[in-house]
Structure 1
Amino acid sequence: MGLLSNRVRKDSLKPGDHIYSWRSAYIYAHHGIYVGDNKVIHFTRQGQEFGTGTVLDIVLLSSVPARSPVPCSTCTLPEAHGVVSSCLNCFLSGGVLYRFEYAVTPALFLAKARGGTCTLAVSDPDDIVVHRANYLLTNGFGCYNVFKNNCEDFAIYCKTGLLVVDQSRMGQSGQAVSIIGGPLAAVLSTPLRLVTTNVYGMAATAVGVYCVSRYAADIGMRKDVVKLPVEDLTSRLATGALQIVEPSLPVFLPPAN
């Protein structure tokens, strides 16, 4: 792995690795946790990884990698909760294998302008990561949401145990931040047109706003997160009791009677 690419060989994987593969001509990536024995646990929209539930599906579904019409005998059938176990080949679906990087330096994080490839956050030990992934395979990870609770959010939680518990806010996903951050940077840089016609100046400002938004929204920098045991997570998701009152002071309230 390096500055330009996180591409890795299959024989270099170890249980607990957070892996991903780009879909739809690098428009977005699908993420999962490699748990060993050629198996990947990942979070999908009701078992359909090529779907977001938004208008983005028009683009995404039109250019996905081809799949074999013959069902794979080693992969689990899609569950209602969307967490599935697949063989590595089915997970990649004809795409290229990449490994998500943890505990990167701020310089490297900003150099990788595309979100969804690395984070400043530190990963937990591999055995804990695999335990979380296997537990969520049985118990689920809540409702899929492309911006608040997607496959990258799932993989990052498995790796770190960190969760954004205010569901009105953006999730952990770096690629979701990138999707929103680009247009946001363009909008915020637009007022410069009132004082300058320098295209390069406006472009530099837009890039700066985008980088700052990505850095501040990274799971390793955010203050509105808590470290939550996986057993506690699934029980509270089931009862709807997971809440946060202040970003710096997480509070878990009992479910309403």
Structure 2
Amino acid sequence: MGLLSHRVERSDIVAGDHIYSWRTSFLYSHHGIFFGENIVIHFTNDDPTIKSKSNDRSSFITCTSSTPSITCTSTCAITKLQTTCSYPKYCGFRKQDSGVKISCLDCFLGNGSLYLYQYDVAWYYLIAKIRGGTCTTAKSDPPEIVFRRAMYLLLDHGFGEFDLLENNCEDFALYCKTGRLLYSRGERVGGSGQVSSVVGVPTSVAVGFFLSGPVALATTAALYSFNRYSIDLIYRLRGIKVAVEDLAKFRANGNRPMKKD
């Protein structure tokens, strides 16, 4: 893994890591929290009315690597692909009316490669990244806290309604890793690096349009990087720390934090 790519091997990741995989020719990426034992907890835009494969809140953790591999019958709602599933009995487990689910690592990746999201990076490292949604200047909490948040959201209250701009898979993973939510004027907005990149493009291009030559190119690139860094900095400094047990109440009670995590 280097400056240009966060691609890693499966042996490089541990439980509690924030991982992602690029989709549709690197158009966007899908994010999740690695559970360990070849399992990922992630937030999707699957139909939330579909019932879970199991009503047992804890039975899925008994699966082992000796489980026979078959073609997964639960086609990924994002990639629309079928892959070889390592844990067919438990892959796709989630509560009804919740977009938080578990998938085996194979189904999570689809046909994509594995990447590791970076935390507590220097500002110049973040700016050097052309694409957003790969790193943040925010610090991650210890793995056991990350793991507890992800499990709680899977088995209890979920993570709300999926929204591409304000509440997506990267926002879910960021919350699990940091416990922070970003609010503006009482309304929740996402901290997604992917979204900040898209938001920063129009302004950068608009300014660069009135210039010409190398100056236009440099100005556009500088504004684009500044927009991404500004949003990430706001998330890190102004993001509200909310205990996962209080997340549902926090969202339902005027965005008031109930207690510190």
- What range is the shorter-chain TM-score in? 0.7 to 0.9
- Look up the match of 2:159: 141
Aligned twin of 1:182: 201
Distance 1:203 1:15 in 2: 41
Q: Are residues 36 and 242 of structure 1, via their aligned partners in 2, closer, same or farther at CA, if it must alter by over 3 Å?
A: farther
Quick one: which amino acid aligns to residue 196 of structure 2? Answer: V
Shift of 1:65: 6.5
Q: 2:113 aligned with 1:99, yes or no?
A: no
Of 195, 213, 222 in structure 2, the residue corresponding to residue 199 of structure 1 is 213
Counterpart-to-counterpart distance in 2, 1:77 and 1:188? 47
Q: What count of residue pairs does the alignment treat as equivalent?
A: 226
Structure 1, residues 19-39: CA drift from partner, whole Å, max 9, x if none? 000000000000000011111
Aligned partner of 1:241 in structure 2 is 253
**TM-score w.r.t. structure 1 length?**
0.80
Q: Can you give the 5+ residue segments of structure 1 that lack an aligned partner in the other structure? A: 49-60, 244-250
**Which residue number corresponds to residue 248 of structure 1?**
none
CA distance in 1, matches of 2:21, 2:100: 17
CA–CA distance in structure 2, aligned partners of residues 66 and 145 of structure 1: 22
C-alpha RMSD over aligned residues: 2.5
TM-score (norm. length: structure 2): 0.79
Q: 1:47 and 1:72, CA in 2 relative to 1: closer, same or farther beyond 3 A?
A: farther
Q: Secondary structure at the match of 2:199?
A: helix
- Determine the C-alpha separation between the residues in 2 that align with 1:242 and 1:135: 22
Matches within 5 A, 1:200-215: 200-215=214-229
Conservation of the 8 A alpha-carbon contact between 1:119 and 1:220: no
Aligned counterparts, 1:1-257, within 5 A? 1-46=1-46, 64=79, 66-68=81-83, 72-77=88-93, 79-138=96-155, 139-166=157-184, 168=187, 170-190=189-209, 192-193=210-211, 198-218=212-232, 222-237=236-251, 240-243=252-255, 251-252=256-257
The offset of 1:13, in angstroms, is 1.3
Query: 1:19, 1:98 within 8 Å by CA — same for their partners in 2?
Result: yes
Q: Distance in 2 between matches of 1:220 and 1:184?
A: 18
In 2: Cα distance, 1:134 partner to 1:233 partner: 14
CA distance in 1, matches of 2:218, 2:189: 25
Q: CA deviation at 1:175?
A: 0.5
Task: Return the alpha-carbon distance in structure 2 between the equivalents of residues 33 and 242 of structure 1.
Answer: 28
Q: Identity percentage over the alignment?
A: 42
- Please give the alpha-carbon distance, in whole angstroms, between the structure 1 residues aligned to 2:39 and 2:14: 11
SS at match of 1:214: helix
Q: 1:2 to 1:158 in 2, by over 3 A?
A: same
Conserved 8 A contact 2:83-2:106? no
CA distance in 2, matches of 1:232, 1:11: 34
Report the alpha carbon displacement of residue 199 of structure 1 after superposing the two structures with TM: 2.3
Give 1:15 shift. 0.6
Q: Which runs of 5+ in 2 are unaligned?
A: 49-75
* 1:99 Cα offset (Å): 0.4
Alpha-carbon separation, structure 2, partners of 1:236 and 1:39: 29
Shift of 1:69: 9.3
The 2-side partners of 1:105 and 1:69 are apart by 38
Kept in 2, the 8 Å contact 1:47–1:84? The answer is: no
Q: What amino acid sits opposite 1:241 in the alignment?
A: N
Letter in structure 2 aligned against 1:229: A
Distance in 2 between residues matched to 1:169 and 1:74, nearest whole Å:
32
Report the CA distance between 1:224 and its aligned residue: 3.4
